[in-house]
Structure 1
């Protein structure tokens, strides 16, 4: 646990002020940006709630109207059936009367007259009756004495047509039918709408009709409508818009049907005046009906009657079926009250959050700056030569990882310094005992490669966390002063491990086919200006135009290293000679080189000088890393070992011939066809935005057995907008590949514990999804058989690397990348 201290240091105060400024700026921005929008949104929600409630009530009333109309139609159909039944019963009765009169020899007219009198006094339902007329329009049976037995030609309607005559003629023409006309009730003089069923009986010369007065039907419909209004009144009592808003209904005759105010409910509102404009409010409400527009006006409140200063909004829908106007009414200040209350709560919550964030910032500043100051003191002790210094910091955050990695690096550096010479001596003695120079160099190469691998992993963790710490706490000047020297030192360590990899034959090559004579001639011309005038430099080409496939930069570096070694061997001046020739090697050819030479055609590059030559010890240890006979403290002893590694990685051979009169170093490199071409690499993007856009949202699997390395790569990928999954070994990675169909790609270390390495995982993912983004990484590359084309299919990125380098490598891999056949990692045979 870290104990909180006052912010006494300059770094702590700057860091805290920076966080405080960021928090305040963020608070102000969020408040100014979001609160007005939230207020407006809540206001619109409340406003739309009024519209929604109105539409819901409109739909409810519309369904009620449909129900009333359905009831009207059903009632009319029922009446039609009853009317038919009444006429049918009358028909049956008359038929029975006539059949009964025949055996008794009773006159037909007398029997019918008796029947007519009986039918005349028959009624059903609401005093409805049956009437009978002959084909001349005379009413033979009717309950009203004003019409019974009378000829009805003179009773006409508004158009001047005889009502009864028209009904009789229509029945004779149609046989039967339903007809609507106006007629008086037996006890009333006013003509009412009547609906009758009339049927012609030609065998009797009669027309029989039965009818119903439509006002009886309308009374039932009106009762239905009254029940609908009652149901709507109950529904509207439950609806509230905002706090006191409500809905009301009035009809086309300005009669208020439903209103929560008892003083207005069921009254005539035609003369209600808006006090400000003196317009009739009912006219304005009808004007905006179904337009979607709101009516704005000033009105009073129930608790302040007569004070018409409160703005209201009303929406109106017209229900044509009932001819009703359904309206919503809400006070404007009530619509705003919810948004104001929400804004106040947001402000209170933001202030509380800001205060809590300031407390956390104070804790965070102490948490970060104290261990950094402690780490800086430890770094100063180490830089002064105290390799026993420890930071003593233990935490699970990035600073803790950085401190742990730093302590581990110092401890390993101390151990390596103490044991490296002993291990190299022991290993060299073992190799000399077996008299197998190639085996000894391979072992030393493996040792150097292994050390480079461990150091590259350490440097990946250290450099990655240093860069993350610098980027995360950007702006703290004192922090950058502490981190930048450590970053530069980490990059210097990476360069040294790269040289070790050159010796171990594990650096990445960018090969191309070149004309060797032209390149050596250019290199010789370049060297003329670098060598003293006392050294005579010459070049002789003993072969026609010959091509080889190598990494041009490493070839030039090797030639320059050999030339500078020759210069150091001739402090008083002398001759330095370059030459090239062609050599064909067969199985019968015996060459005294560092190892047996495979059959084939080779270019021999010879560099000879007239210097002091190699001593016996120097000759035996010439290719060993860090071995040098020079007294210059800046010399690393990696020059000739890098040449050796380059030659071996290019599938070539090297030989040293030395005498007191001078020495000659011969390089054998296999020839290549001039038609061989190198696919061009995708051009680098114009800026990092293109890379981030390409990679954003990708789901990548990171496979590395070192948890700290995975943590660094994860942080770098998250900074690029990439989603990350992790696996510690090949088995876990293969399981994730098989179970995750949405996996976009893979970043895997080449060397993994167990029998399966990163190449195998990449091949499995490629087999399942060829479009996947695949990138291999390594502190040093394991041996790859150059004849095995499958092992050369995926791009390789050397550790350590920063976020930008990783992003560029992923971008190239996504674009098609450098295939390993163009930048392959060679093998020391």
Structure 2
């Protein structure tokens, strides 16, 4: 085909223009683009380094937060352990306060208990006196040791400082150096201590801070291992990587595991002749990259290849974080880019040459196809391809477009994969965090400034009675209700103003009141700590219902104890008065029996005196001061015998249930007082069922291993449980709260001493009591008494024989020891009426002298409580001097005056002459030698 000159000139001009344009574009753009590409690649390595540096900073921040949390956790555990120890000490000393053991025995038992107490990692509880002498310590090297040579690093005495702080503040924390067990090394130790001024000691416990640091170091090691795995997967360019070494030139993390843990400070930089580690540190200080010569894996030992490293110093761990990449790898992309630009230029020249030759229609058709493909891609179809396969610019454009679409599709797929992996990791972390938060024994929630819940753990959701997923995102008012919100609003406003707020709140749930203790902590958003803006708040709520219930029980027990002490004191004095009244009335009735009409006045007075004696007996039972004779009792048989009597006196409309035949249940108690207590409960049940019903008395053995809710916490042991239940009217909540108070009654007529007597008898018998009742649903009174092993019955025991009233002792000499003149006068007169000659003493000391000086004494009648020598001690001394002497001890209430001789007879105040005769008749007389 012949070409015209114009075609040739135009075509030649196009070729020349394209050639000149391509050459100029190459000369002026390719070197600049190559340099810029190199800088971009180099700066990319620095960006990666900065990201790793930020990651390490976050690791450090997380470890610091973990250490703070760990220290607070240790402090909480120290408080809890010390509370247990203090409770144990108070329990032991309470026995001394009750007179069960001496104060010295209690102190020794408490110190021995602390000495044997261990918990955690060999941790212990110690005790010191106000004189800084160690009273209890597991190490014999410190037991009983003074504080002279126990000093801290500043030379200050450790123990006196603790004593001064405890006496001034009551309790506190202190950190000081202390010797580790089985070693001479001293290490910092955090101790929590508390002053017990009533006991004159300071107790404390502690934990070595090294245990806290060990936990933090373990977390650090885990974080470093995670960082190591991440850095080993990270690549810069083709073979570049990141590594970390410390200031001692020891390699911490490196992709080559053989290099980790080794020192590389001896390796020299061939370019400077200095150690390469020091050059890296200097580069970190300048903030500039370091270029040095290194070998390649495929050319080991030939340090002729140029490398570039960015280095940053992380002061928190004293680490140097460095990148390492070969320079030729960074330049490779720029060379490839330049070559591609050159190829594009050549293709443009070819395309320009063919522009005049190719028809316009052929030019338009592929462009149209390319535009259609681009529209499909824009619409989201990443699988669209133009399909253009040409050797010109349009073909290159189509091929490049298709390649870019494929690369975009691959990139999107890679990003999707990474997003899925990251989402799975975040989901796993969120699940772990949710499990931890749900397992924490506290209710935790978060609120934003508008009062919407941002998160809540399972316990918080259960506390408000909602599903956990239901409360997230809702307003707090919609979750807890308007009434609760009205109480919470002032506390929320104070917290949103920047104040940490702690308060208690009570609300009803499932028929009982739930008491919570809530702490509101303000949360300031990132970057807003300085201007004080609160973006939300954290809620920490603890259920303290049981603690409050225990506190109420303790207050109630102390109140009843105070009332009991008052009642016991009144009953003791009243018993003396009644003894005088009843004794003189009996004497007047005997002496003036012939006076007509006098008996009509004396008989009511005597009944009133006996009624007063019954009231004082009930008061003494409530105050736990009545004289008791505990002995093994087979209770099932006793209840069956009682049921026979109760059925005779109860209306037929009341059914009575007792243990069936064949069962035996043994307990240790005073049989008479136990019968009185059960009869009182039965009569109360009868009065509560005016229209009939059912009374059940059930007995069983109960093993207590965990805490039970009775009038006070029940000690673990085996008990005999007695449950007296009825179907009567029950107690109101107000009456139930005061049921065992003396003189409180719900009856129209009554002394109000029935249940109080039962309560006092149970407590004096070392037992426990609980009353369960609701109006209209009946009442159940449960008693726990000490369990006894079965004993053989004495079927043919000979009853004691009392001598006849008014005779049998004529001419015998009796000694009366009583500090109350009027009571002594009544006793003397009654003994004279019985035929005794009487010698009197106003104190135990005076009576002891008379026992030594007077021969022929056959009877000693002594009050137990007297000035000087007590009646028990007097009886013991009299028996040593006069083995044949009968001994009768008189008391109106129980006291702790040592062991009463087994052969002594107790005569309770007030008494009448028949009681005195029976006591004298039962007084033991040893057989003559």
TM-score, with structure 2 as normaliser? 0.38
Instruction: Choose 1 or 2 for highest CA Rg.
Output: 1
The TM-score with structure 1 as length reference comes to 0.42
Could you say which structure has the greater relative contact order, defined with CA pairs below 8 angstroms and 6 or more residues apart?
1
